[in-house]
Amino acid sequence: MSRREQILATAAELFAKRGFHGVSVADLGAACGISGPALYKHFASKDAVLAAMLVSISEQLLAVGRERARAAGEPRAAVVALVDWHVDFALRHRPLIVVQDRDWESLPGQAREQVRALQREYVDVWATELQAVHLGLDLEQARAMAHATFGLINSTPHSALLPDPAMGALLHQMALGALGLQTAGAQVPQNVT
């Protein structure tokens, strides 16, 4: 992991615990094992750290989402692949989701617009596949389905007490059900370890 990546990962953890405004440059530097001023070799400001963090995750969500949808070969498989990706991301990057939700207003304007544009594109990857699965579904309905599914996936890992494998299986099943793709008779896994 590069020093820049370490700073972003550490910042995500600190911002998630204490909020963007509750973490100083000195706090961030100390947590990374460097002086606060040494952070300026990698980022122009604390705002730049937040911007890089949230733009980066939005770029990653979009790039991997597109790749998985393309590789799936058909719409239903593409939606399943998108659900798999988003559940995996949400479980592995809890702090980033907390920061995105709680510290959105602290994001500099240009970065906020960039994140919004990337997120719209990501939603449209989902919406395109959902329209192909559910013929007759209009674009706004498909986008709303994607957003509702993100809400389910993104919020649950922060409040639930299940181990990650069980949480992942539950989120996967519930997301597919919310999207009208759950197979009949499927059971929520018990005691997944």
User: Average pLDDT in the 71-79 region?
Assistant: 96
User: Average pLDDT in the 168-188 region?
Assistant: 80
What's the sign of the alpha-carbon dihedral 8, 49, 158, 177?
A: negative
* 47-179 to CATH, choices 3.40.50.1820, 1.10.357.10, 2.30.40.10, 1.10.10.1100: 1.10.357.10
What is the per-residue pLDDT across 37-61, written as a single tens digit (0 to 9) for each? Answer: 888 899 999 999 999 999 999 999 9
User: What is the percent of the chain where pLDDT is above 70?
Assistant: 92
Please list, in sequence order, all residues whose beta carbon lies within 8 angstroms of the beta carbon of residue 49, skipping any fewer than 6 positions away: 7, 8, 11, 28, 39, 43
Q: What is the DSSP letter of 104?
A: G
Q: What are phi and psi of 110, to 5 degrees?
A: -65, -40
Distance CA 21, CA 6 (A): 20
User: Does residue 191 surpass a pLDDT of 50?
Assistant: no
Report the amino acid identity of residue 166. A
Give pLDDT, residue 71. 97
User: Does residue 86 surpass a pLDDT of 90?
Assistant: yes
What is the per-residue pLDDT across 127-164, written as a single tens digit (0 to 9) for each? Answer: 999 999 999 999 999 999 999 999 999 987 666 678 98
Distance CA 116, CA 172 (A): 25
What is this structure's pTM?
Answer: 0.89
Mean residue pLDDT across the chain: 91
What's the sign of the alpha-carbon dihedral 104, 155, 97, 32?
A: positive
